[in-house]
Amino acid sequence: MNKDMNEFLRKLCEKYGVPCGKIFPKDSRWAVELPSGECAALLPHRVERRFVELKKLVDTATLEEVSTLRFANFQAGGPLKELLARELDLAAFLAESPIVSLFATGDAATVCNTIVRFQDGKSGCLECGTALPESQKSMDRHELIARRGVASDRAVDTQVPQDSIYLWTGNGNETYTDTDLELYGLPDEELTAVRAAFALLKQPALAAEWNRAAETADKLSALALRSAETSSFFSGKEIC
Amino acid sequence: MKPLKIAMMGMTHGHTRKYYQTLLENQKLDWVAACAEDEEAKKVYELYQTGVPCYLDPNEMLAEHPEIEAIVLASANNRHFEQMKFCAERGIHILSMKIPTFDMEEYDKMIDLVDAAGVVCQIELEMHYNPVVRRLREIIEGGRLGKLKSIQATNITLSPVWAFPWQGSPEASYGKRIPLQDGSGRFRGGALCDHPHIFDLVRWITGADFQEVYAQTAPNLRPELQVEDMVLATGKMTDGTAFLFDPSWSRLEERLKVPGPGWEVFPKRMEVNLTITGEKGMLQCDCFGPNVYHNGAPNDRYTVQYTYFDEWIGLIDEFVDCIRNQKTPKINLRWHRKTIDFMNKCYDSIAAQAPVRIE
């Protein structure tokens, strides 16, 4: 764990007059200890700006009557279960409805394709994989399809994520995407974890909700992998 | 640190609303009052329900809030001198919009006023607080591109004139009515006046000054405007770096009175992109991308939903730091003078239909 994370968190809390806490690694994700002593799982994707904006498009009725969520996330290595848990929670968060059934295919080791149903009837799919060659940046896409409007974190007519800066030199090609001047210098994953901790510290009432959501996501993720291994469809009590 | 008691004045500038969230959330600030230019500006301000009282008379505002230490001058360009004088004479620190004035005599009087009063006067050039620009500068200062040879930059937007009519008025925007060329029915004061950022950025990135420029306008996309909406400028810096700028209002808009969803016709209403070539390589940069995209309400058009737009946080942080710790802002009146002077030279080139050398 980068010790700078807690230093950045301290500075943010001081700047905005929020009582500070401490980030620490717990199981497969980050957690934060709140001033009350309570610990909460961090769900950084819930405060990641592109997802905040997607949710805003739903909440402000820019999109009307969302029907389907199409997500994809491919990474270079790492546990597939964690990747799935993140995407499953993000799906439920953006759908604003819990997942009530799922069916998955894949080798359950490096790939898993999951179709889910949300309680309010929406449908969703998650294409997840960890087989990208080492050192490749993640490739993901999150699309909300509604009766009025489609929203996505990827631009039309592009297959891969875009960056803010493309640099071509004799040493090869590099890309950069910096999104947060207050936390400038932190790697993306740690930056969003600090933002998530800050969100919880600002609004400690979220802690219980996030802990429940993390537990649910872990359970769904395990079920998705089991579904892929056994061709089983899960719904009802098995999920809830 | 004691929170800075801050106010806003004018409330007619296109950037006015961008301050609200920062002024309300930043613990270093206590936003105590606003003073609108007129009833119409006050009505628009009240739509945002900030909870901060709004006055129409600056003297009344100060009488009610004598604790005010600093004021954001969110007003038309031709109001800045009077408002700056008002603040300086009262020892109030100033955050000015991006164009203090195009009248260089008036500009020098502003410097004298601020110096005499000993107040902080920061100019709002928000690109200095953009994280992509910070990375860009690190790459260049780290020598990874080698000596720079050329910079192309866009600062292209929709036209704000329908929501902020002063930006279509030669007098309010440029300060006086000067035809673009002899006999022209168009006047200085349009897109060029709205887009100083890339002119400032190239000085910042190269550390050099402007040496020469050739600029020209195109037929307006909006023929009814009295001011230019399409303009290009190319030239050289004193270190030999060539540049080509597009500071146009080249993205069409819905003619909304109050900016809001559905303002843009072209999907991306504002872009600052740079292409930089150096002796060791090349770089392309989008200061406001990538984003989130949709084609939902209100117009069902493909639209960029700006996702990272936090420049005002860093800008205000610096302003407070300068006041509390007696520092000079990076973008102060003296630094910015050469940029403004150069923008005038662009107009001179347009008028002469010939390159202009900067002495």
pLDDT by residue (tens digit) across B85-138? 999 999 999 999 999 999 999 999 999 999 999 999 999 999 999 999 999 999
Distance to chain B for A228, nearest Cα, Å: 31
Task: Please check the confidence at residue B49 and state whether its pLDDT lies above 80.
Answer: yes
Question: Which pLDDT score, from 0 to 100, does residue A116 have?
Answer: 98
Question: Which pLDDT score, from 0 to 100, does residue A3 have?
Answer: 73
Cis peptide before B160 (omega within 30 of 0): no
Nearest CA in chain B to A149: B296
**Which residues, 6 or more positions from B354, have their beta carbon under 8 angstroms from its beta carbon?**
B214
User: Would the CB atoms of A170 and B139 count as touching at under 8 Å?
Assistant: no
* Token representation of residue A8: 């950045």
Return contacts of A229-232, CB within 8 angstroms, 24+ apart: A229/A108, A231/A105, A232/A103
Residues of B in contact with A165 (CB under 8 A): 132, 135-136, 139, 283-286
Q: Which residues of B touch A (CB under 8 A)?
A: 25-28, 129-132, 134-136, 139, 144-145, 261, 280-287, 289-297, 300, 302, 305, 307-308, 310-311, 313-314
User: Would the CB atoms of B294 and A176 count as touching at under 8 Å?
Assistant: no
Reported ipTM: the value is 0.95
Average pLDDT value over all residues in chain A: 96
Question: Are the beta carbons of A126 and A94 closer than 8 angstroms?
Answer: no
Nearest to B274 by CA among B159, B148, B358: B148
Question: Which pLDDT score, from 0 to 100, does residue B239 have?
Answer: 97
Q: pLDDT above 70 covers what percent of chain B?
A: 100
Question: Which pLDDT score, from 0 to 100, does residue B25 have?
Answer: 86
Q: How many CB pairs under 8 A join A and B?
A: 130
User: Would the CB atoms of A168 and B25 count as touching at under 8 Å?
Assistant: no
User: Would the CB atoms of B283 and A168 count as touching at under 8 Å?
Assistant: yes
Task: Please check the confidence at residue A2 and state whether its pLDDT lies above 90.
Answer: no
Q: How confident is the model at residue A197 (pLDDT cuts 50, 70, 90)?
A: very high
**Which residues, 6 or more positions from A59, have their beta carbon under 8 angstroms from its beta carbon?**
none
Nearest-angstrom CA–CA distance, B227 and B244: 21
Nearest to B317 by CA among B87, B69, B27, B16: B27
Average pLDDT value over all residues in chain B: 96
Q: What is the pLDDT of residues A147-181, one digit of tens each?
A: 999 999 999 999 999 999 999 999 999 999 999 99
Nearest to B164 by CA among B38, B9, B249, B41: B41
Q: Using CA atoms of B34, B320, A164, B295 in order, give the dihedral in degrees to the nearest 10.
A: -20
Residues of B in contact with A94 (CB under 8 A): none
Q: What is the pLDDT of residues B173-225, one digit of tens each?
A: 999 999 999 999 999 999 999 999 999 999 999 999 999 999 999 999 999 99
Q: What is the pLDDT of residues A39-49, one digit of tens each?
A: 999 999 999 99
Task: Please check the confidence at residue A1 and state whether its pLDDT lies above 70.
Answer: no
Question: Are the beta carbons of A5 and A194 closer than 8 angstroms?
Answer: yes
